[in-house]
Amino acid sequence: MEPFRAFVGDQLPLRQRATGYAMQSFFIGVGAVVGSMLPWLLARAGFNNDPAAAGIPDNVRHAFDCGALVLLLAMGWTVVSTSRVSARQTAGL
């Protein structure tokens, strides 16, 4: 997630950077907790918890797929919704 840390510094004015880094750390932590709970939640929702022929339970595979989808959507949203900041504009921050 280090490129995203640099992204916060590049996009925010100096007075907002501490809050930006705090919010980023908060959401990374929430994502880690939800991601680690997702296999358990999927098992409780009825997904198979027994290892398949490949040795990976269905709930773990689906949790990974959900995490990958959320990451790709977040990255896509960032690319689409963020304007490019030139070096001259960055120097003014």
Predicted confidence at residue 40, as pLDDT, reads 94
Structure tokens at 64: 């990974």
Question: In this predicted structure, what is the pLDDT of residue 32?
Answer: 93
**pLDDT score for 90:** 62
Statement: residue 78 has pLDDT above 90:
no
pTM of the model: 0.73
Give me the helices (H) in 12-86, please: 14-44, 58-81
Are the C-beta atoms of 40 and 34 separated by less than 8 Å? no
Confidence at 92, pLDDT banded by 50, 70, 90: low
pLDDT, position 50: 85
Nearest to 39 by CA among 21, 51, 23: 51
CA distance 39 to 41: 5
pLDDT band at 88 (very low <50, low <70, confident <90, very high): confident
Secondary structure of residue 86 in the 3-state scheme? coil
DSSP state of 54: T
Which phi and psi (to 5°) does residue 51 adopt? -60, 135
Q: Tell me: the pLDDT tens digits for 31-73?
A: 999 999 999 999 999 988 888 777 889 899 999 999 999 999 9
